[in-house]
Amino acid sequence: MNQLTKIYEPPPLRLIALEEHFLYDGLLETYDATDRALLAPSRVPGLDEVGDQRIAEMDRAGIDLQVLSHTKPGAQEIEDPAQAASLAAAANDYLAEAVARHPARFAAFATLSTGAPQAAAAELERTVRKLGFKGAMINGHTRGAYLDQQRFWPIFEAAEALDVPIYLHPSNPHPLVYEAYYKDFPTLGFAPWGYAVETGTHVLRLILSGVFDRFPGLRMVIGHMGELLPFALWRADGRLTPKYPQLKKSVRNTFLDHFSLTTAGVFSTPELMCTASVVGWDNLLFSVDYPFESNLDAVRWFSNLPIAESDRAKVAHRNAERVLKLAPTDQKQAR
């Protein structure tokens, strides 16, 4: 045990981490060379483990519950609809078994074969009603097609009917964007910058499409402290809202009313304070982005934030309990 571990005291609050990833071998086999290299278990230790090792890492940091989701791109790049639906269901069944073994420590977001939207909507219903999943994670575009296209909206219709959120997670940039922006600086196109640009743009496309007018009860979640949007929202609202008078609400109000944001992968106090000042503490949820980020780094930062304890409790667990309909408690799980 190192010195940092010796002096570290886990937080007294219940701590729910909302964007925590795993990898199903059956889906990894379908990934392209780029994603196989990025996501190989040898490169990202812990990604392919959903049992005792993961729980030990949670205990070391003081995290009570992880909401598990399949790492990008899931089943979204598989061209054959039947194969995509079958592998998505297999990944969800695999995850359901892990949750069943540790129901006090894990919850789940479904993986969906978005290329076949009706099948994806049916799978969302199956996982929520039969497996107890808390919603779904969608990893950005589907082979270059974005969710503002109405062919994808059966997924949103199902989410609204089931009253569960859709977590919109980054994916690799659209191939044409990658070619234009990132080809000469490949690393820039991924987590350091490109993921946020891709997801923030996707969110604005959704708002402008009118999907939230069609499904006013739809709730979505985005990570990484809002994918640059809190800083850019004033300008986006001022320039976009007048050009879309058919929308029932402004761009700003649609964002604030329909999106929750997580701290996944961003452990910086200035960024948190900016985000909280825009969206409010009721719309912020703690996350790590494990195993791509460190549980200990995330929790140490969060535990020492200079914020009111009532706001810390909201971000730590109360907002997640409300959004995901988890049993509320201020108590940490017994180990």
Assign residue 149 the CATH number of its domain.
3.20.20.140
Token code pair at residue 261 = 């944001």
Token code pair at residue 92 = 């969800």
Please give the pLDDT value at position 197.
Answer: 97
- Domain contains 189: yes
User: For residue 2, what pLDDT band results from cuts at 50, 70 and 90?
Assistant: very low
**pLDDT of 20 over the 60 cut:** yes
- Domain contains 270: yes
Average predicted confidence (pLDDT) for the chain: 95
Specify the DSSP element, H or E, that contains 281. Answer: none
**49 in Cβ contact with 149 (< 8 Å):** no
Domain interval for residue 172: 3-324
**pLDDT of 228 over the 90 cut:** yes
**How would you classify residue 2: left for phi > 0, otherwise alpha for psi between -120 and 50, otherwise beta?**
beta
- Domain contains 205: yes
DSSP 37-69: HHH-TTTSTTTT--SHHHHHHHHHHT--EEEEE
DSSP 189: G
In angstroms, what CA-CA distances link 146 with 196, 254, 282?
Answer: 15, 18, 28
User: For residue 199, what pLDDT band results from cuts at 50, 70 and 90?
Assistant: very high
76 three-state secondary structure? coil
- Domain contains 333: no
Positions annotated as catalytic residues are 289
User: For residue 3, what pLDDT band results from cuts at 50, 70 and 90?
Assistant: very low
- Domain contains 332: no
Q: How far apart are CA 173 and CA 194, in angstroms?
A: 6
SS3 track for 16-39: EEEEEEECCHHHHCCCCHHHHHHH
Please give the pLDDT value at position 93.
Answer: 98
Q: How far apart are CA 282 and CA 236, in angstroms?
A: 22
**pLDDT of 76 over the 60 cut:** yes
Nearest to 263 by CA among 243, 239, 278, 283: 283
Q: Which residues are within 8 A (CB) of 186 and not within 5 positions of it... i.e. 6 or more apart?
A: none
152-169 pLDDT per residue, tens: 999 999 999 999 999 999
Token code pair at residue 157 = 């219709």
H-type alpha helices, the chain: 3-7, 25-28, 33-39, 52-61, 81-101, 117-129, 153-162, 175-177, 194-209, 211-214, 229-240, 251-258, 269-279, 295-303, 309-313, 319-324
**CA–centroid distance for 38 within its chain:** 18
- Domain contains 335: no
Please give the pLDDT value at position 268.
Answer: 97
Q: How far apart are CA 210 and CA 305, in angstroms?
A: 37
Please give the pLDDT value at position 234.
Answer: 97
**pLDDT of 5 over the 70 cut:** no
**pLDDT of 330 over the 90 cut:** no
**More confident call, 263 vs 12:** 263
Counted domains in the chain: 1
Please give the pLDDT value at position 6.
Answer: 42
